[in-house]
Chain A
Amino acid sequence: MSTEIAARVKNEEWKASLTSERALVRWALIIAALGYLTLFLFIPLAAVFTEALKNGLESYFASFQDPDALAAIRLTVLAASLAVPLNLTFGVAAAWAIAKFEFVGKQILITLIDIPLAVSPVISGLIYVLLFGAQGWVGPWLAEHDIKIIFALPGIVLATTFVTVPFIARELIPLMQSQGREEEEAALTLGASGWQAFTRVTLPNIKWSLLYGVILSNARAMGEFGAVSVVSGHIRGLTNTLPLHVEILYNEYNAVGAFAVASLLTLLAIVTLIAKTMIERKTASSRSAHDPAWSTQPGSPS
Chain B
Amino acid sequence: MALVLKQPSVLPGFGLTLGFALFYFSLIVLIPLSGLFVKTTTLTWEQFWHTVSEPRALASYQLTFGASFLGALINGFFGSVVAWVLVRYRFPGRSIVDALVDLPFALPTAVAGITLTAIYSSNGWIGRYLEPLGLKVAFTPLGVLVALTFIGLPFVVRTVQPVLQDLDMEVEEAATTLGANRWQTFRAVIVPELWPALLTGMAMAFARSVGEYGSVIFIAGNMPLKSEITPLLIMTKLEQYDYAGATALGVVMLVVSFVLALMINLIQWWSSRRHTAR
Residues of A within 8 A of B (CB): 15, 18-22, 25-26, 29-30, 32-34, 36-37, 39-45, 47-48, 51, 86, 89-90, 92-94, 96-97, 100-104, 109, 111-116, 118-123, 126-131, 133, 135, 137, 158, 161-162, 165, 181, 184-185, 188-189, 194, 197-198, 216, 219, 222-226, 229-230, 242-244, 246-247, 250, 255, 258-259, 262, 265-266, 268-270, 272-274, 276-277, 291, 293-297, 299-302
The chain B residue with its CB closest to the CB of A121 is B213
The chain A residue with its CB closest to the CB of B169 is A19
User: Which residues of A lie under 8 Å from residue B197 when comparing CB positions?
Assistant: 301-302
Residues of B within 8 A of A (CB): 3-7, 9-14, 16-18, 20-22, 24-25, 28-30, 32-33, 35-36, 39, 78, 81-82, 84-86, 88-89, 91, 95, 97-112, 114-116, 118-119, 124-126, 149-150, 153-155, 158-159, 161-163, 166, 169, 172-173, 176-177, 182, 185, 196-197, 200-201, 204, 207, 210-214, 218, 231-232, 234-235, 238, 241, 243, 246-247, 250, 253-254, 257-258, 260-261, 264-265, 268, 271-272, 275
B106 touches A101 (CB 8 A): no
DSSP majority for the A interface?
Answer: helix
User: Which residues of A lie under 8 Å from residue B124 when comparing CB positions?
Assistant: 47
Q: How far is the CB of B209 from chain A (nearest CB, A)?
A: 10
| Option from B16, B103, B115, B158 in Cβ contact (under 8 Å) with A295 | B158
User: Which residues of A lie under 8 Å from residue B110 when comparing CB positions?
Assistant: 223, 225, 243-244, 246-247, 262, 265
A272 touches B89 (CB 8 A): no
Report, nearest first, the 7 A-B pairs whose CB atoms are least far apart: A120-B211, A223-B108, A194-B12, A225-B214, A226-B213, A269-B106, A97-B18
| Option from A86, A100, A115, A297 in Cβ contact (under 8 Å) with B33 | A115
Q: How far is the CB of B95 from chain A (nearest CB, A)?
A: 7
B84 touches A40 (CB 8 A): no
The chain A residue with its CB closest to the CB of B270 is A301
User: Which residues of A lie under 8 Å from residue B238 when comparing CB positions?
Assistant: 126, 129, 230
B7 touches A103 (CB 8 A): yes
Cα distance A225–B107 in the bound complex, in angstroms: 11
The chain B residue with its CB closest to the CB of A189 is B10
B82 touches A19 (CB 8 A): no
| Option from B78, B150, B258 in Cβ contact (under 8 Å) with A118 | B258
**Contact flag A93-B158 (CB < 8 Å), given A30-B85, A162-B28:** no
**Contact flag A295-B36 (CB < 8 Å), given A29-B84, A30-B85:** no
| Option from A111, A115, A189, A222 in Cβ contact (under 8 Å) with B108 | A222
| Option from B13, B89, B101 in Cβ contact (under 8 Å) with A37 | B101
B153 touches A93 (CB 8 A): no
User: Which residues of A lie under 8 Å from residue B81 when comparing CB positions?
Assistant: 29, 32-33, 36
**Contact flag A266-B158 (CB < 8 Å), given A118-B260, A120-B211, A300-B200:** no
Q: How far is the CB of A256 from chain B (nearest CB, A)?
A: 11
| Option from B18, B21, B85, B154 in Cβ contact (under 8 Å) with A33 | B85
**Contact flag A45-B12 (CB < 8 Å), given A122-B213, A295-B155:** no
A243 touches B78 (CB 8 A): no
Q: How far is the CB of A302 from chain B (nearest CB, A)?
A: 4
Cα distance A39–B33 in the bound complex, in angstroms: 38
Cα distance A21–B271 in the bound complex, in angstroms: 28
| Option from B104, B211, B275 in Cβ contact (under 8 Å) with A123 | B211
| Option from B97, B126, B182, B235 in Cβ contact (under 8 Å) with A34 | B97
| Option from A37, A198, A266 in Cβ contact (under 8 Å) with B111 | A266
B234 touches A123 (CB 8 A): yes
User: Which residues of A lie under 8 Å from residue B247 when comparing CB positions?
Assistant: 126, 130
A113-B25, A223-B107, A293-B161 known, 17 other contacts, Cβ within 8 Å = A15-B173, A29-B81, A33-B81, A43-B126, A101-B9, A118-B257, A120-B212, A120-B257, A121-B212, A135-B241, A158-B28, A229-B214, A242-B108, A243-B108, A277-B98, A294-B102, A300-B159
Q: How far is the CB of B198 from chain A (nearest CB, A)?
A: 12
User: Which residues of B lie under 8 Å from residue A103 when comparing CB positions?
Assistant: 5-7, 14, 18
